[in-house]
Amino acid sequence: MQIVDFIAANGPWSWIIAGLILLALELVLPGGILVWMGVAGIITGLMLLFQPIGWPLQWLIFGVLSLGSIVVWLRYSRNRPQKTDSPYLNRRADQLIGQEAVLAEPIEQGFGRVVLGDTIWRVSGDDLPAGTRVRIVGSNGSVLAVEPKS
């Protein structure tokens, strides 16, 4: 009961301290959620410094601020493009788009093979004889889409 009495006596500061604890926990448990709960706790505490509010309304303010800021953050973070210095790191086939190659095996029934560097790639496209020069125009997994070079 001493903890409840302490929190009741120091209402605004208990919210601010709880918010700071949540911010510190974000360092240990990263994910972005505790940051916004910590900010909501600090804002709730700052509001209480200027206007005394009952406990039910304090929890409502904290909950609304927490949920609102978390929803806004999740929508923002999921919709923003990821900037990277190596955009094709795990998409090796996409790195080859635009390159030209010579068919090592003819494309028959939609599939054939080309040699690029030290790798033999399966290709798809219109039926073409071996030795035809082709341009890589896309990929579907590890199968390269090709068209005859004009």
pLDDT digits (tens, 9 = 90+) for 44-93: 999 999 998 888 898 899 999 999 999 999 898 888 877 777 666 667 77
Structural domain range at position 35:
2-79
The band of 35, judged by pLDDT with boundaries at 50, 70 and 90, is very high
Answer yes or no: do 24 and 47 share one domain.
Answer: yes
Say whether pLDDT at 138 is over 80: yes
Listed residue (8, 6, 13) closest to 49, CA to CA: 13
- Cα–Cα dist 144/93, whole Å: 7
Beta bridge partners of 138: 145
What CATH number did the domain enclosing 132 receive? 2.40.50.140
Within a domain: 85: no
In a shared domain, residues 64 and 17: yes
Separation between Cα atoms, residue 75 and residue 83, nearest integer Å? 17
Best-predicted range by mean pLDDT among 1-10, 39-48, 141-150? 39-48
Amino acid 1: pLDDT: 64
Does the pLDDT of residue 113 top 90, yes or no?
Answer: yes
- Confidence check: pLDDT of 117 > 80: yes
Q: Mark which of 79, 109, 134 sits at the end of a domain.
A: 79
pTM exceeds 0.75 for this model? no
